[in-house]
Chain A
Amino acid sequence: MASDETNNILDEVTTGEYKYGFFTEVETETIPPGLSEETIRIISEKKMEPEWLLEFRLKAYRKWLTMPEPKWAHLQIPPIDFQEIIYYAAPKPKKELTSLDEVDPELLDTFNRLGISLDEQKRLSGVAVDAVFDSVSVKTTFSETLAREGIIFCSFSEAVQNHPELVKQYLGTVVPYADNYFAALNSAVFSDGSFCYIPKGVKCPVELSTYFRINAANTGQFERTLIVADEGAYVSYMEGCTAPMRDENQLHAAIVEIVAMKDAEVKYSTVQNWYPGDKEGKGGIYNFVTKRGLCKGERSRISWTQVETGSAITWKYPSCILMGDHSVGEFYSVAVTNNHQQADTGTKMIHLGKNTRSTIISKGISAGKSNNSYRGLVRVAKNAVNARNFSQCDSLLLGSQCGAHTFPYIRTENNTSIIEHEATTSKISDDQLFYCNQRGIDTESAIGLIVNGYAREVLNHLPMEFAVEAQKLLAISLEGSVG
């Protein structure tokens, strides 16, 4: 690393707490808090949705009412009052936007402060961004360029209006509305999200990116992402999340569905940096996300990479269903928890097709009084001949008040598969620290250095722009964890 860059990171480490914790004064249109069939009808109406989508929402809502909150995760979840939450909050005025100039300047400023200047990115980095502010998609860049390739990349609501047949065909096929408690809730009240369709044989020329931000108070964010990669298609998709600092907790319950057809490849990267709460554990986002990819066709490939540094509570298991023969699933994760954060995250690899392969690399880092768990399932069904899995889940403990846990589940039903799982838990050794100190690196920086090295295996899988940000995030998240 160049010395300038090191200095920058060190500066940020020493100055920054949660640097995304500002609140933007944008006028928002909200509906009163509370959840009922009426709320769902209002949301649906505001978004001018077709009848079948309303039916889908209502079915999900009715199912949700009958489901108990999940208690199995290694998390202390305070009771959530679902009637206190505002289920729809949109920046006002909501009119058709055709260029960046029409976007509210306050909003643009927000994105600039987030470091994702839409304008900048549009011109320089060639990344197409769909920014979701509170629950509504405000601007999708590069739509025209993508349209030339036949790629559809737009907000979910637009997709419902313009491509209803595609949405209808794939919505809920990977994560059914009755999948789990939070998936049912999302299916009932989701307000927006991103939709992406890559047609046959098209390699998406730019990286697609969505930025999620919760802004208004007491709002929940329930976005839904649907990515379909048709035969032979390729797409790399990035997702980033931030929220302002608030004393009360906010709820985020999202769904991501990915469908990969024959020979298609989808790479999904996340840098999750929701507000984690303050040092006493006050406030922060409750992040309950269902992410699942279906490798439907032969030789399809889905890869999840995530850097989880934010949220008071993270409950998230990006999974792959390896249905097509020779399909590949990958999961790379770095999860950092500090102060009072809790994370229960991991993956599921369900091998159904022949010669399917999966790799799981999970690196957990716990500091402060936090708890960090890896929970994963590797299942090899009877017909998944020659399935292969390798899992490695390491945990690093920084401080004597934190916890690191590993809960792997392995199930096999045939004798041609090979499954390996290994995990270690340890702290940074005094030898390593001494080595750094002795060369003039102070302890805090040394920890940052060692942690970055530890997480490198995962960070290497992130797209360039994200990798830099992720490194900084790691350092910031761990700040103050020494001693």
Chain B
Amino acid sequence: MDNKIMVPEPERMQALFREAAGSLTLGNNGHFSALRNEAMQTFSRLGYPNRRQEAWKYTDLEAALQVPYRIQLIPSEERADASKIFQCEIHNFETYLFSLLNGSYVWEHSPVSVLPDGTVVGSLRAAALQYPELFAHHYGKYADIRNGALEALNTAFAMDGIFIWVPDGVEVEKPIQMVNIVNLKENVFIQPRNLIIIGKNAKLTLVHCDDSVQHQKNFTNAVTEFIIGENSELDYYKLQNKDDDATLINNNYFHLSDYSRLTSNTLTYNGGLIRNESKVKIDGSGAEANLYGLYLMDRKQHVDNRVFVDHAKPHSVSNELYKGIIDDDASAAFYGHILVQRDAQQTNAYQNNRNITLTDRARVETNPFLEIYADDVKCSHGATVGQLDQDALFYLKSRGICDRNARMLLMYAFAAEIAGKITIPALRVRTEEMIEKRLKGELSICDQCVLHCKDQPEFRIDMSLV
């Protein structure tokens, strides 16, 4: 079975699925073939999402789906050292680095590594063979393949991705960094599938980066399932710095048990079309979920952040804060949905989305929804779309700061609130730098050419003053 080059139309994907059925295996004895078939049926029924559907009103995949892609079916067996193909630019950032290259797990010595504390990190394919029980217990249990067309498509074709298992009582000392790189000289369609399992009383800090190197069209349809065990903690960072030709669909499913804590930071600096879907199921009492997001979009970029928090058990807390600065012709959509189920009494849920638009062509759509069936709750939400505060701008200018710098400072302060939530110092410093660079327009320009680099007046922000 070869990797095909074609437009990923639903009919052709179905044909491809039938053709490849024999070689699509995960684990022993084709364990998941029933799941795959069910997923493919869902996809056949639903097709790709389109703008006539409420959930996809603001994000149009049509153009991205007209392009012929190389459909990455079979993971490449190429061996390499992850640290050789990906050079993290963050200084003093000590992590365990693992990487997916064009959707396949990259390894040199062994497809599954065991860290000194017993944490297992490796290729999804290999782990499915080594840990069949864990897989049978968790794999495909959380992602919604009955209603989500893209989740179903991913499940039907899923072959590789990253697997992490933090056993009970283990606190992973260094952050684990998983990098999803797309680097191919042709258009590529990849569907990584990740499974992150955290046992009881455990702790994991996970940094998940999306990067693309070549300026080729690429379509990523990723699904990640996170299982956070009792009294465990996940600190999750998602960094997205893709080129304008990238289409990235991220479906994250978080499953929280009793007294577990989730902190998720989604930082989007660049990317053609990005959709981050986070579905948090609070299935334990006393659990806490904090979801933060920052998006800085310009040119014709589009980002769509969707957060669904399902409070199914009592005494839980959720907190959402998403902030964005939208420049040029860019557009941003936010959809937040808090569901408090009938028995989830004593729930506190907060949701906030703030946007600044810089041009009259930038567009923002925001839908902060609350759906509440329990009475002993405190829930609130807020959303704003506006511009920089004119009074604050005047204040700065009256103190001799030029208009450009005053604006920059205000935007920086607006964005830095999210950066301040980052608990890894090296990453926070780097994020602050990235925000600064991004606001000055250097990040995207450096990307394409070096000529404009120096004609901007030098302006440094002293963090200690902010």
Q: Which of A's residues lie within 8 Å of B, judged by CB? A: 72, 74, 382, 395, 397-427
Contact = CB atoms under 8 A, between A and B. Distances in A.
B394 to A, nearest CB: 16
B30 interface: no
A399 B357 CA distance: 41
Given A400-B342, A402-B375, A382 B360 contact: yes
A145 B364 CA distance: 51
26 contacts: A74-B371, A397-B377, A398-B375, A399-B375, A400-B374, A400-B375, A400-B376, A403-B373, A407-B367, A408-B367, A408-B383, A411-B364, A411-B365, A412-B385, A413-B360, A415-B357, A415-B387, A417-B386, A418-B386, A419-B384, A419-B386, A420-B382, A421-B368, A422-B380, A425-B378, A427-B376
Contacts of A397: 372, 374-375, 377
Given A397-B377, A423-B380, A425-B380, A415 B371 contact: no
B364 A412 contact: yes
Contacts of A411: 363-365
Contacts of A405: 369-372
A412 B54 contact: no
A401 B342 contact: yes
B381 interface: yes
B345 interface: yes
Interface size range on B against A: 20 to 34
Given A422-B381, A425-B377, A415 B358 contact: yes
Given A398-B375, A410-B365, A420 B54 contact: no
Interface of B: 54, 342, 345, 357-360, 362-387
Nearest to B334: A410
Given A406-B369, A412-B363, A426 B377 contact: yes
Q: Interface of chain B, helix or strand or loop or mixed?
A: strand
Contacts of B386: 417-420
A414 B362 CA distance: 6
Contact of A410 (B357, B367, B370, B376): B367
A424 B379 contact: yes
A403 B385 contact: no
A409 B380 contact: no
Contacts of B383: 408, 410, 419-422
Nearest to B378: A426
B385 A425 contact: no
A407 B382 CA distance: 12
- Top 7 nearest A-B pairs (CB, nearest first) are A397-B375, A415-B357, A425-B379, A406-B370, A424-B380, A418-B386, A403-B373
B372 A412 contact: no
Given A400-B376, A415-B359, 4 more contacts: A405-B372, A408-B383, A422-B381, A426-B379
Contacts of B374: 397, 400
Contacts of A427: 375-377
Contacts of B373: 402-403
Contacts of B367: 407-410
B370 A425 contact: yes
Contacts of A395: 370, 372
A416 B375 CA distance: 39
A339 to B, nearest CB: 15
A217 B425 CA distance: 72
Contacts of B358: 415
A426 to B, nearest CB: 5
Nearest to B369: A407
Contacts of A423: 368, 370, 380-382
Contacts of A415: 357-360, 362, 387
Given A397-B377, A427-B377, A413 B372 contact: no
